[in-house]
Structure formats: C-alpha cells, structure tokens
Structure 1
Amino acid sequence: MTTAAIDSPDFLPFRLDLVGRRVLWLRLDEAQRREAAFLDDRAVPPNAEGGWAPLESLLSRVSDEPAPAHAIFHIGHCGSTLLSRLIDTWPEVQGLREPLPLRTLADAWPMLDEAISRLSPDEAENTLRALWARWSRALPPHARSVVKATSSCNGLIAPLLSQQPRMRAVLIDMPLRPYLATLLKSPNSVFDAASAAGERLRYLHQHGVATHLSLHQIPVHRQCALGWLAEQMRFDALDKGRHGERVIRVDFESLLDEPARELHRVAAHFELDPARVDEAVASPAWGRYSKAQSHGYGREDRAHDLALSMQSFGADIADAEAWVASIAAT
C-alpha cells in the first residue's frame, strides 16, 4: 500500500491483524458502503483494491475529525441494522455497519492487563482512537458517519465515550421474551449469543452478579438470557453514568410501534434534520430483511415468526425468564 492510498478517504481500515501487527486497507466506494450489512469478508468486492500495511500506517494518522462518527450499539438481533439503514435516509449520513477491526479490538480489550495481550493499554487506546478517526471521514456527498458496531463490541462503548467528547451513541435492545424468541428460532443467532456469553458473564462477575456461576454450568438458552441481563446492566450504567447525556436508549418494540416518535428521538440525538423523519418512516427498508435487502421481510413476517418461536421454544423461554428473575432478585 502506498502512502497516498492510505491517506485517501476511499480506503478503510478493513481488517486488523494483531499477531502480524498490520492493517488491511481496502477501497470501498459510497455504494458499496451503503449496501453492506457487514464490513467483513462479505463486503469485499470482486477485484478488490487494497493491501496490508504495518499497524503504524494507522497509528501515525490519528487526527481530530471535525465531525466524529456517532454510533449505534445493541444487544444483537434487535433491529440495529434496520435502524442504521433508516438513518441512511439522511443524505449527509454515511452508515458503516459492523467494521471488522472494531470486533478484533473488542475481543482483545478484556485482556489488556494480562501478560498474553498483544497490545499495551496505551496501544489499544491509540488504535481505537485511530480507527474511529478514520471511520469518521465520510465520503462525499456525506458529511458524517454513523458506525453500527457488532453486539460483541459493547465493552468499547465507555472507552469511546471517554475518548470522543462529541460522539453520541444510541443503545438499542428489546424486552427479554421477544429477544429469546428471536434468538432461539435461529441456530446462527443462538451461536452468536453463546459466543458472546463469556464476556458478558465476566461483566456480571465484575459487578457482583451471578458470581457463583461458570459458563460451562449454564445451558445455552440461559446463556442467551444471561447476555440480555448483562447488556441491560451495561446500558443502564452508561445511561446513568458521567456520559449519560450523550447516550439514549431505544427499544426495538417501541420503534416498530411508534416509528415516527422514536426516529424523532434518534434524529434529535444525532443532530439530524427532523424534517426527514417522514421519509425514514416511509423507507422501503421496513419491508426488507435488513441484513439482505433482496429478501422481503416486514413487521407482519416478524410477528408471525416470533409467535411460532414462542410456541416451539416456550418451555426454554419460560425457564430462562424465571432464571433471570431469580438472579435479579438476589
């Protein structure tokens, strides 16, 4: 990779290799960024242009952006991709969905104080700052980026809010029962939740909750519920914490029931023109599967699927709800 290419906003830091201490830079145009539900291997275009460069190629280019990217964080499978696509309705916004280096850094973050960490705490902070600065450089005609993180990246919310005093974040989730029904009807969704359960159990232990439990003792449907509980605690703490004025909570069920009201809240929080809310409410994204826009999937389809899931997995859902209630009670 040439210095000129790395300095061009056309190129994104696309993959972070902590073993090799290098960054893969990839050119993605405005349409490719808009269409991608995941900025990972699924977004790599044919004849992709880019290449690997040392980690220093990222760290040496840290700068304060005039408009740092805002963020959407979530608990997983709760409408965050739909919300991101609705925000794309505003012409000044460039949506970046689930950039892979953020996931890599989030996986490394809990081990920064351990001997096995490949980054020092200062290097990790500088890497996070450099990535966010680069993702904040929106391609014309856009003026600002909104990054939708992967659900496993929630441990980075507090560090980002501390680093980026002008960044604002939306935290989206849903009540436990529809969340469990959403996960349990899809083996891939269960796998995602179970993969994140270790970090979420660590979070609970750090806050004095469920300290008697080990992950191997917890059946997978309860691991899904455990993750929901941990993220409720995390989001509550962020909402009530020292950066709480830069955070808002959004309930996906409320977004579905009162889209105009909730989108007005989000637009105000992200300092977007409220006049475009009606356009977002009328967006065709409501009738498509957000992660694969070619597939039709509307609110009625979701309601039908959840009803079937609650019938098929009713016993597991009831057990997980009671289990979470017993933990909360203690």
Structure 2
Amino acid sequence: MMPSPLHDPEFLPFRLDLVGQRVLWVRLGQARRHAAAFLDERALPAEPEGGWLPLPAWLQAEPGTAMPADAIFHIGHCGSTLLARLLESWPQLQSLREPLPLRILAEAWPTRGQADARLSVDGAERLLQAAWAAWSRPLPPCTRSLVKATSSCNGLIGPLLDLHPAMRAVLLDMPLRPWLATLFKSADSVNDAASAAPERLRHLQACGFADGLALHAMSLPEQCAMGWLAERLRFGALAAGPHGARVLRVDFETLLEAPGPTLATIARHLGLDDGSVPVALASPVWGRYSKAQAHEYGPRDRRHDLELALQRNASGIAAAEAWLAAQARRHPEVAAVLARDA
C-alpha cells in the first residue's frame, strides 16, 4: 500500500484537478528534484509512484510545521532558473522549480468566490496554504526549501506573504531591452509573455494605468512591453508596501556583472550565511543552459545571442519601447519606472 503522501516528504503535490476536486501526489527523490528545471511531466521517472487524493482529505489534514519555503518570483526569461540552481550551492537548501499546482492556483485566484469559480475565497486560501506547506518539507540533508514559481504566478506573492509571516521572496527581473531581446530569440518565449498578458493587463487596470488599453488592439511587442511594465510596477509596490522588508528586488544583469556581492545579498536576505558564495561562483551551472543542463551556454554565448536578437528584431523592440514611451508621457509613475533603467 502506498504510504500517505500527507506524511511522507518524498511525495509532492504534482497535479491539481479543480474539476475533479483532487490532487495527484508523486514520489520524487532528491536527485530528480535537483535535476528538474520544471516540476511537470518532464520530471517524472519512467514508472512514477503516486496516486490521486481528494482535495477535502488534503485540506482537512493537520498543516505541516516545517519552516515555510522562501521563493523566487520573476518576470519570465530573466535567469530565474540559473539563480535557483546557484542557490543549491547552499547545502541546506532544496530548490523546487515551477510546481504545476501553483500555476493552476494562480489561474484560479482572481475569480475565487465567484459563482462560476471552482474555489471559494476560503477554499482557495486553504488550498494555497496546504500546497505551500507540502513544498516546504525538505528532503535530508536539506533543512530549507525554496520554490521558484512560474512567471504567471506573481499575483500570489502578496497572498503568500500574508499567509506566511516568516517567508521571504526574491523578485527577479531585468531591464527592458535585454529582456525583449531574450524573448524575441524564440517565438515560444514571446508566446509565454503574451499568455501572461491578460493577468498583467488586469494588474495595470487595478493600478490605474490601463485606461484605454485593450489587449486585442495591441501588437505582440506592445503586449510584451505592457507585461514588463506591469511586473515592474507590481514588484515596486511590493517592495514599498507592508511586506517590503521581506522582499528583495534583484536585477539579473547585476547578478551577471557582480555575482559575488549579489549572491551574498540574496543569501543574507534568505537567512543564509555567506560561506557558500565561493561555491556558487565556481558552480558549473554558469556555463550550462539552465533549463537543459546538457547544453553548454555561457556568458559569451548569451552576449552573442542578445546582440543578434537586437539586430534581427530591431523593429519589434522599437515598437515596444515606443509604446512604453507613450505611457510614460501619460503617467509620471511609468516614467519613473523607465528612469530606473536609464
């Protein structure tokens, strides 16, 4: 008989089915967690061990007592996987990258409690708390957990910080031009940003900066620029808000230019000592593609790719920058965001 996943930290909530009101638990050992860039089907062993559990059985169980996992939230395609792998240089830290149920919760969160929603307001909060407790259970020899979220999950940053007063978060992004060049290297990356655009537009609306904007009237470069702006405003508000002391904004370009001091600052923010910074600086992941470690990909490769992307996609990048400049003329707060990049 399968051991109860609720009491065995080797099991993770792997897939969330809100229609069927159930959750799939899968056993994933330390080696597989360490190797996985994404906790989705690509992380599964050939013969996975696990099973479905009704959501009520999970939500009625006693919550765990582990220290809540810290987190990396990010704008997408900005080096978050590399950072998560580097932080594994601290032997006490277990990194879980992009668990699928968190993405499902993020999608359901804005409509929770509505008549057509699968989750009530209370049910959504309890489910988020239960899921985070499960991801907070480290496997020995680790004693701490870190969750690297999918970029579409940024709407959950505030709720998670509300639920877990001891939790800390790193908010990772990068300046507009290299971020757009990174996106435009791949049509899939542009589609990722466009898929996140509706939630990001709703966030801009909530902030009062989206008057007259309609997604169907925006080009893909403009949607990407809008998403970048929305996340910059979101991260800025979090840093200036009541949870400001528990979030740390990090620029990926700064991490690349000054890795030692930046990693030391991140370590201190997460309550880690500086002793593993030299280990992180010597890590082989610097010379590998973070999402597929078998492929070599170092800083020189990245510079070459970005220069080529800037040339090949000059018109799209110019359109994105022009859209942001137009917003800055309308809103001083947007101009202040752009000035931070200057």
TM range, smaller chain:
over 0.9
The 8 Å contact of residues 66 and 133 in structure 2, kept in 1 or not, is answered as no
What is residue 327 of structure 1 aligned with on the other side? 327
1:275 is displaced (CA, Å) by: 1.1
Match of 2:20, SS state, is coil
- Output the CA distance in 2 between the equivalents of 1:205 and 1:2: 47
> Residue 190 in 1 paired to residue 182 in 2?
no
- Output the CA distance in 2 between the equivalents of 1:185 and 1:33: 28
Match of 2:48, SS state, is coil
Match of 1:311, SS state, is helix
Q: How does 1:232-251 map to 2 (within 5 A)?
A: 232-251=232-251
> Residue 204 in 1 paired to residue 230 in 2?
no
1:288 is displaced (CA, Å) by: 0.2
The 8 Å contact of residues 5 and 12 in structure 2, kept in 1 or not, is answered as no
Match of 2:310, SS state, is helix
The 8 Å contact of residues 62 and 130 in structure 1, kept in 2 or not, is answered as no
Amino acid at match of 2:205: H
Match of 2:145, SS state, is strand
Q: Which stretches in structure 1 are left out of the alignment for 5+ residues?
A: none
What is residue 96 of structure 1 aligned with on the other side? 96
Amino acid at match of 1:182: T
Match of 1:294, SS state, is strand
What is residue 33 of structure 2 aligned with on the other side? 33
- Output the CA distance in 1 between the equivalents of 2:274 and 2:164: 24
1:2 is displaced (CA, Å) by: 4.8
The 8 Å contact of residues 194 and 220 in structure 2, kept in 1 or not, is answered as yes
- Output the CA distance in 2 between the equivalents of 1:6 and 1:162: 24
What is residue 301 of structure 2 aligned with on the other side? 301
Q: Summarize deviations over 1:123-144 as a string: whole Å, max 9, x none.
A: 0000000000110000111001
- Output the CA distance in 1 between the equivalents of 2:289 and 2:154: 24
- Output the CA distance in 1 between the equivalents of 2:118 and 2:148: 26
What is residue 84 of structure 1 aligned with on the other side? 84
Match of 2:254, SS state, is helix
- Output the CA distance in 2 between the equivalents of 1:5 and 1:79: 32
Q: Percent identical across equivalent pairs?
A: 60
The 8 Å contact of residues 170 and 266 in structure 2, kept in 1 or not, is answered as yes
> Residue 253 in 1 paired to residue 253 in 2?
yes
1:194 is displaced (CA, Å) by: 0.4
- Output the CA distance in 1 between the equivalents of 2:300 and 2:34: 26
The 8 Å contact of residues 194 and 220 in structure 1, kept in 2 or not, is answered as yes
The 8 Å contact of residues 102 and 153 in structure 2, kept in 1 or not, is answered as yes
Q: Summarize deviations over 1:58-117 as a string: whole Å, max 9, x none.
A: 212342534110000000000000000000011100000000000000000111142211
Structure 1's 188 and 249: CA in aligned 2 closer, same or farther, altered over 3 A? same
Match of 2:232, SS state, is helix
Q: How does 1:1-330 map to 2 (within 5 A)?
A: 2=2, 4-330=4-330
How many pairs were matched up? 330
The 8 Å contact of residues 5 and 11 in structure 2, kept in 1 or not, is answered as yes
Amino acid at match of 1:108: A
- Output the CA distance in 2 between the equivalents of 1:62 and 1:14: 19
- Output the CA distance in 2 between the equivalents of 1:69 and 1:95: 9
Q: Summarize deviations over 1:159-193 as a string: whole Å, max 9, x none.
A: 00000000000000000000100001101100100
Match of 1:318, SS state, is helix
Structure 1's 5 and 73: CA in aligned 2 closer, same or farther, altered over 3 A? closer
Match of 1:147, SS state, is strand
- Output the CA distance in 2 between the equivalents of 1:90 and 1:263: 11
Q: Which stretches in structure 2 are left out of the alignment for 5+ residues?
A: 331-342
TM (norm. structure 1) is 0.98
- Output the CA distance in 2 between the equivalents of 1:39 and 1:77: 17
The 8 Å contact of residues 93 and 144 in structure 2, kept in 1 or not, is answered as yes
- Output the CA distance in 2 between the equivalents of 1:133 and 1:180: 35
- Output the CA distance in 1 between the equivalents of 2:7 and 2:113: 32
The 8 Å contact of residues 6 and 57 in structure 1, kept in 2 or not, is answered as no
